Amino acid sequence: MKVLRFFGSLFVKKDCCKVLIGLVLLTSLSAQAQHDHHMPAKKDTTMQHDHAAMMKQDEHAGHNMHTMTHAYSKNLPMNRNGSGTSWLPDNSPMYMYMAGKGNTSFMLHGNIFLRYTSTDFTAKGSRGATKLDAPNWLMGMMNHQVGKKGLLNATVMLSFDRPIMGGEGYPLLFQSGETWQGKALVDRQHPHDMFAAISVGYTYAINKNMDVYGYIGYPGEPTISAPAFMHRVSAMNNPDAPLGHHWQDATHITFGVGTVGFRYKQVKAEFSSFAGREPDEDRYNFDKPLFDSYAYRVSYNPGKAWALQFSQAFVHSPEALEPDEDVTRTTASVIHTVPLHKQGSFIASSAVWGLNTRDHGHKEHSFLAESNLQLQKNAIYGRYEFVEKSTHELQLEDTFGEAKFNVHAFTLGYARTLATAWKTNLALGVQGTVNVEDKALYGIYGKNPLSAQIYLRISPAIHK
């Protein structure tokens, strides 16, 4: 009954209710409009039936390649789509709604977590908080084939974090980055901008093995790091942003991005020019597109199960409170996805490393390892993080002077799909986190504070 009252309280808030109802209606309408795609039948034991099944599979594959290609290649599967122009493994399952007509295909996917969270439920420290909220995002994409060689892509991504959670976002112990009311956000995850992505891209297929492409986003995502956390299948059941978000993939919303790239078989090299300043506190506007920073990324998918990347960004003045400080961000990542015997069952894992090097040689490392074991309706998932947080990041300079602390976080969660209707899943999940920090921080955060949350997740069902 307490859980029901928690979620009932969320819907009493009129603004939240309007936004969430709108999101659910939008996903439901899209689901009803989509076209069904079915998996090919299993081969029979006889030679004749085996040949017929192979022919049917080839025809089905050709149809899929015609309507469901990668966003930036006519010769790669859509499963490889990450965020921006990044790559996932080809084995990645697709949770989305799909529709198409002629040379044009449409896709819609997203997540809504209706949850109650407590970041220090044993009250060991002074920085814990509780909240009813709903992290969310919704993304639509269009692919249009232009002649025999061209591919046009348009993408729009929205987030209603700001009207639901307010300007200071949601509580997340040891998180840092961006501002609210002119002050640094600490132990909070900032809300994402309503317009999280508006981008167009054009790809020209030189031949089957080579593509060249261009991408423009306002906002968009430059060529930095692995796919952003909300687009990684390994993180699909975890509502929280990583503590290393601003060491790894925080540039997924950048107001002004231009990218050019080249693919040869399974290797891709790309370069971006973009605005270094992170989004301002007004989550509804469009910031000034200053192309004052640049980044490069090399990606390699050695097989269907793997996606590897190395990238480096030279970011000019990312933080509004430190306008004279630049950051060099270096990242590397490995993503691995393996389907299991039953459809809808798989193991998806990611390892992401990020390093921020600030002016005067000040360096801070971060590392993340996460995995999601999906067994059709049931999922067990986890995340480990290590982040070096300075006293400046944690707003503790007055207490400790200039210093740096190690922070570890261990998260374990379970989710179960309760129902599927109109190709939309409703899942119930629960997760807990053990935070392990330097002993010097015990007096403020308490020794190894415990966080927990319970949620209902609304998302598209797996695409078949």
Superfamily for domain range 2-33+68-460: Porin (2.40.160.10)
The answer on pLDDT for 14 being more than 90 is no
The DSSP output letter for 316 is S
The answer to whether residues 368 and 351 touch, using CB atoms and an 8 Å cutoff, is yes
Tokens at residue 367, please?
């590392």
| Predicted pLDDT of residue 75 | 97
Q: In 3-state terms, what secondary structure has residue 255?
A: coil
Average pLDDT, the chain: 89
Amino acid found at 144: H
CA atoms within 13 A on the CB side of 245: 25
| Predicted pLDDT of residue 361 | 77
Helix (H) or strand (E) run with residue 117 in it: strand 104-118
Q: What is the mean pLDDT of residues 338-363?
A: 94
Rg (the chain; Cα; Å) = 22
Q: How confident is the model at residue 67 (pLDDT cuts 50, 70, 90)?
A: low
Q: Please give the model's pTM, rounded to 2 decimal places.
A: 0.86
| Predicted pLDDT of residue 11 | 37
| Predicted pLDDT of residue 394 | 97
| Strand 210-217 relative to strand 195-207, pairing | antiparallel
Q: In 3-state terms, what secondary structure has residue 173?
A: strand
In angstroms, the CA 218 to CA 279 distance is 12
Sketch the domain layout of the chain as residue ranges.
Answer: 2-33+68-460
The answer on pLDDT for 458 being more than 90 is yes
| Predicted pLDDT of residue 16 | 41
In angstroms, the CA 435 to CA 386 distance is 10
Q: What is the mean pLDDT of residues 248-272?
A: 97
The DSSP output letter for 254 is B
